[in-house]
Amino acid sequence: MRFIVISIKKYFFTVLFLLFTLSLILFSATNLEAAKNGLILWANSVVPTLFPFFVATELLCKTNFIQILGKSLNQFMKPVFNVPGESAIAIIMGIISGYPVGAKVVCNLYDNKICSKSEAERLIAFTNNSGPIFILGSVGVSLLGNVTLGKTLLISHILASLCVGLVFRFWKKDKVDITFRNFRSESKELIRISNLGEILGDAIKKSISTILSIGGFVVLFSVIISILSNLEILTGIASFLANFGIPYDIAFSILTGIIEMTNGVNLASNCYASLPIPCLLTCSFLLGFGGISVLLQVFSIISKSKISIKPYLYGKLLQGTFSVIFTFILLQI
């Protein structure tokens, strides 16, 4: 048994990527179409929405705005979320912008030595969220055809995020990063007229690198969902779950959304007429969880900073659960 376990660990990724390559060849026609759709989605929605936020956060980290914010909010942020006041920028940008801007801001704070590693891990658990434009516009108006339902999902999403922050204030609470405590006193280069061009160019380069990485994930996961659909894996699991009383369409949308959130929410919204409550609760969970695609996007952003992905994963599962609870309560009201 031990030999089998060692063999699986050793060859798992080799076999997995060989199967993926083979599937790309076998289902080349549908995969090509899926890749094109993913690329169009990235170019039309992701780039214009997220790229300006990436540049803005890079520039803000080179000003004294974060220090001013820290002095103003430290008395609130420290006792409530156990993070420095400067980290309020991550909460604000994470709420108003959308995935994965919150993670990018947290990395900027950590890389600029504004927060410690344990504080960054607390922040990463609850500051990376779906944006209000997506929830209100795309989900509420376009998919559900009801702006009030969009507002319900948005309120649930924000409340769930803040609740996760309260829970994660205890993450590594007793751990003190001694080396970090000296960093905050170090001066960092602030943006001035003389270095504006250099800092702006650097911010754009970093933002382009991040946005290209996100585009790669969007295209890749569009192809993965296409392959799973051709292999009828998701449909098979959804049919199995239907035997336990879970509606097939809801089960299929949850499975799809766990892989890639946008597709899952789109499928769940199609069930609103026949299954309104399960549909909204599914959308709420998927918006809170974000899906594996977003998780890997965040992982690619934070990996260079050596921030652990575990608190993010735990936090998103918890946020999805809290979102369902708050949505259900608001729907009853």
Q: What is the pLDDT of residues 245-273, one digit of tens each?
A: 899 999 999 999 999 888 888 889 988 98
pLDDT computed for residue 186 by the predictor: 45
The domain locations on the chain are 31-332
Please write the tens of the pLDDT for every residue from 288-326.
Answer: 999 998 999 899 888 888 888 999 999 999 999 999 999
Query: 237: which DSSP letter?
Result: H
What DSSP line would sit under 113-180, residue for residue?
TSS-HHHHHHHHTTS----HIIIIIIIIIIISS-HHHHHHHHHHHHHHHHHHHHHGGGTTTT---TTG
What's the pTM?
0.84
Proportion of the chain above pLDDT 90, given as a percent = 30
**Is 181 a residue whose pLDDT tops 50?**
no
Q: How many CA atoms lie within 13 A of 232 on its CB side?
A: 3
Please count the other Cβ atoms lying within 10 Å of the Cβ belonging to residue 80.
13
